[in-house]
Amino acid sequence: MMSPRLRRAARCIVLLFPASAAALFLIRAVVTAQDQGPIARPFSVTARRYTFEPARIEVFQDDVVRIDLRSEDIAHSWTVDDYRIAKRVSPGQPVTFEFRADKIGTFPFYCSLQTEDGCRQMRGQLIVKPRK
């Protein structure tokens, strides 16, 4: 037979253990959500009629950006000077590439080919935000 004091202690342990486990789980979930590391960010970019679709790409610093680049009319390029990226794509021959978005800021991307006058007007923005 247990003493009343021992019974109270056992009851406290039985009640506190599940509450402690739940609290630890919630704390871990909050910390994990706030401290998410780099994430792979896939984007499908289509070049056609002198535009990029999408013309704006937003990511967080250190994300791994994966671009699936396609052209629907003539040869184009996807060029970002600050990241030293220049990829050429032809109709029917998609190009896939990745890079780490390690610099914060807004970076223009454009078609660097001079195939037609409209190519010079193909522009967009890569926006890299700081990770919180």
Residues 26 and 47 in one domain: no
How confident is the model at residue 114, as a pLDDT? Answer: 86
Residues 30 and 55 in one domain: no
How confident is the model at residue 106, as a pLDDT? Answer: 99
How confident is the model at residue 10, as a pLDDT? Answer: 59
Q: Note down pLDDT in tens along the chain; length 132 residues.
A: 667 676 675 565 555 555 555 554 544 644 444 456 779 999 999 999 899 999 999 999 999 999 999 999 999 999 999 999 999 999 999 999 999 999 999 999 999 998 888 898 999 999 999 998
What CA–CA distance (Å, rounded) separates 115 from 87?
15
What CA–CA distance (Å, rounded) separates 8 from 13?
9
Q: Give the sheet arrangement for strand 105-110, strand by strand.
A: 56-60, 123-129, 105-110, 76-80, 85-89
Look at strands 95-100 and 85-89 and give their pairing: unpaired
Residues 22 and 68 in one domain: no
Residues 46 and 82 in one domain: yes
Residues 52 and 102 in one domain: yes
Q: Domain of 13?
A: 1-35
